[in-house]
């Protein structure tokens, strides 16, 4: 059968957050930072790139390592890591990679003749007097650069503004010359930081980090992560350097404020910082964002959802799904891996991931082995009340369900098509240290359905997959 598109859209053992998607030619390229599985900090691996044909977003190809942390002259010993990058095609047709090292608050640039070839260090963004942006008196520290090239000029955006930090004015834009390095227009603030925000609604969603810039028609869309961290918000303007107005939230990586299948204030996944952007692929628009796995902030994975840009320029918030860029629901037959869960929660609600550090444990998507091992992900720590949700499936004539389970538990899994819906099947499970399959008859209504799998009982179990037949 034709391969379907899932979330996350890359292999389950790949951790590439902070995605910046671009269409170059007949392919869409996914650029981002590169987390390490089971790490204790962000972005420890080198930059890699994946690409897919514009007419098949299920067929992602690994392009390899495109830039190493030690390629920057400031980092020959590899003691700094590569934070979130962005890419633009310059006036000369070459591709320019903009990034910040975690220990330096300046913007570095690398260049390549092709979108996903080996980038080579090019230089640092600097003022006309040669002083690097971020090091001159009056400059603000650089972080998460975003770039957009129009004609012979490139607009560079960036900043990091924590809630209450009055030392940062907000996100700023700087205009660069056609050499892609030299500043020809001084930085100006386009969105205020939280202490200086005047609009009450924007103040609740003020700029934090994760700058990204796109243009749709005659409108510039500035996408960013707000002070709430888990959401990607956006502001629009008819100018790339002024008059940006806050418009709303595109997506939250815990589905906060979505009330179509749950309470608006219920977190349906364990959220955390977010970073991504929007892109037009053929005649559709998508948002790329990342989710958190392994019960921490440091093993993040990219996901995709289709969005709509309405006639008034607004983008309604979309929910997280398992089917992502599939173009519709997944087939309601066959075996599906548990790591494509778009909802994951337990009775004790938490907006953010990482609260096991305080002594609790919640269900989490993880993998066996070490970073780089091609081990398929699964859900572990499913204790009493833990629920995994998968959306959506085109169900026709489903009469049985099979779960693949292991772990130290004695209880049962309940199957539903709604979070608080009727239980359609109960599958008793018992302790096993290897993956075991458990099956049950089930009568799932024909139509577009979610699948919710809830564990009740003692101990802790893991879920590898489920099969509909």
Residue 137 DSSP code: T
Instruction: Give domain status of residue 172, yes or no.
Output: yes
Catalytic residue numbers read 18, 209
Residue 164 domain flag: yes
Residues of the domain holding 76: 20-307
Q: Are residues 295 and 418 in the same domain?
A: no
Q: How many CB atoms lie within 10 A of CB 185?
A: 13
Classify residue 65 by burial, with Cβ atoms within 10 Å: 0-12, 13-18, 19+: middle
One domain for residues 276 and 338: no
Rounded CA-CA distance 80/75 in Å is 6
Regarding whether 223 and 369 lie in a shared domain, the answer is no
138 φ/ψ sector (left φ>0, alpha ψ -120 to 50, else beta): left
Within 8 A by CB and 6+ apart from 444, the residues are 332, 395, 398, 417, 424, 451, 468
Mark whether 66 and 165 lie in a shared domain.
Answer: yes
Q: pLDDT digit of tens for each residue in the chain (469 aa)?
A: 589 999 999 999 999 999 999 999 999 999 999 999 999 999 999 999 999 999 999 999 999 999 999 999 999 999 999 999 999 999 999 999 999 999 999 999 999 999 999 999 999 999 999 999 999 999 999 999 999 999 999 999 999 999 999 999 999 999 999 999 999 999 999 999 999 999 999 999 999 999 999 999 999 999 999 999 999 999 999 999 999 999 999 999 999 999 999 999 999 999 999 999 999 999 999 999 999 999 999 999 999 999 999 999 999 999 999 999 999 999 999 999 999 999 999 999 999 998 655 456 899 999 999 999 999 999 999 999 999 999 999 999 999 999 999 999 999 999 999 999 999 999 999 999 999 999 999 999 999 999 999 999 999 999 999 999 9
Regarding whether 338 and 300 lie in a shared domain, the answer is: no
Are residues 287 and 397 both part of a single domain? no
Q: pTM, whole model, 2 decimals? A: 0.97
CATH number of the CATH domain containing 391: 2.60.120.260
> Does 223 lie in the same domain as 138?
yes
| 14 occurs within a structural domain | no
* CATH code for the domain of 286: 2.115.10.20
**Are residues 202 and 344 located together in one domain of the fold?**
no
Same domain, 198 and 341: no
Look at residues 235, 437, 187, 454 and name the one whose alpha carbon lies nearest to residue 346.
454
Helices (H), 272-326: none
Q: CA–CA separation, 368 vs 450, rounded Å?
A: 27
Domain assignment present for residue 101? The answer is yes
Q: Is residue 375 situated within a structural domain?
A: yes
Query: What's the pLDDT tens digit per position in 316-353?
Result: 999 999 999 999 999 999 999 999 999 999 999 999 99
Q: How many folded domains does the chain comprise?
A: 2
- Distance of alpha carbon 294 from alpha carbon 354, whole angstroms: 9
């Amino acid at each position: 059968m034709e391969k379907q598109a899932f979330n996350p859209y890359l292999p389950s053992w790949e951790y590439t957050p902070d995605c910046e998607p671009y269409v170059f030619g007949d392919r869409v390229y996914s650029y981002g930072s590169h987390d390490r599985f089971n790490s204790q900090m962000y972005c420890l691996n080198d930059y890699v790139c994946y690409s897919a044909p514009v007419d098949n977003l299920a067929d992602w190809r690994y392009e390899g390592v495109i830039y190493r942390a030690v390629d920057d002259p400031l980092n020959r010993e590899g003691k700094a890591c590569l934070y979130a990058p962005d890419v633009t095609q310059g006036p000369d047709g070459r591709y320019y990679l903009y990034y910040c090292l975690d220990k330096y608050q300046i913007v570095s640039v690398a260049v390549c003749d092709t979108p996903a070839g080996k980038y080579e260090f090019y230089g640092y963004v600097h003022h006309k007097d040669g002083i690097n942006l971020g090091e001159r008196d009056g400059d603000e520290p650089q972080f998460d650069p975003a770039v957009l090239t129009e004609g012979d000029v490139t607009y560079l955006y960036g900043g990091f503004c924590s809630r209450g930090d009055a030392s940062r004015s907000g996100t700023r834009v700087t205009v660069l010359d056609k050499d892609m390095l030299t500043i020809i227009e001084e930085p100006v603030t386009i969105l205020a930081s939280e202490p200086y925000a005047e609009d009450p609604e924007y103040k609740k969603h003020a700029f934090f980090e994760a700058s990204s810039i796109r243009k749709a028609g005659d409108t510039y869309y500035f996408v960013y992560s707000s002070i709430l961290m888990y959401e990607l918000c956006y502001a629009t303007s008819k100018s790339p350097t002024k008059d940006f107005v806050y418009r709303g939230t595109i997506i939250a990586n815990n589905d906060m404020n979505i009330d179509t299948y749950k309470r608006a204030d219920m977190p349906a996944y364990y959220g955390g910082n977010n970073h991504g952007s929007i892109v037009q692929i053929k005649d559709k628009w998508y948002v790329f964002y990342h989710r958190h796995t392994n019960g921490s902030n440091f093993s993040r994975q990219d996901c995709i959802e289709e969005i709509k840009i309405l006639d008034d320029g607004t983008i309604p918030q979309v929910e997280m799904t398992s089917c992502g860029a599939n173009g519709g629901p997944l087939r309601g037959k066959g075996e599906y891996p548990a790591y494509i869960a778009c909802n994951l929660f337990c009775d004790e609600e938490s907006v953010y991931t990482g609260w096991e550090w305080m002594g609790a444990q919640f269900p989490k998507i993880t993998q066996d082995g070490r970073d780089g091992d091609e081990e398929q992900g699964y859900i572990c720590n499913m204790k009493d009340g833990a629920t995994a949700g998968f959306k959506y499936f085109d169900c026709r004539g489903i009469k049985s369900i099979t779960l693949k389970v292991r772990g130290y538990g004695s209880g049962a899994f309940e199957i539903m098509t709604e979070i608080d819906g009727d239980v359609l099947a109960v599958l008793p499970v018992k302790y096993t240290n290897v993956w075991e399959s458990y099956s049950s008859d089930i009568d799932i209504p024909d139509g577009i359905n979610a699948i919710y799998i809830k564990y009740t009982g003692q101990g802790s179990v893991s879920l590898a997959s489920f099969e509909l037949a």
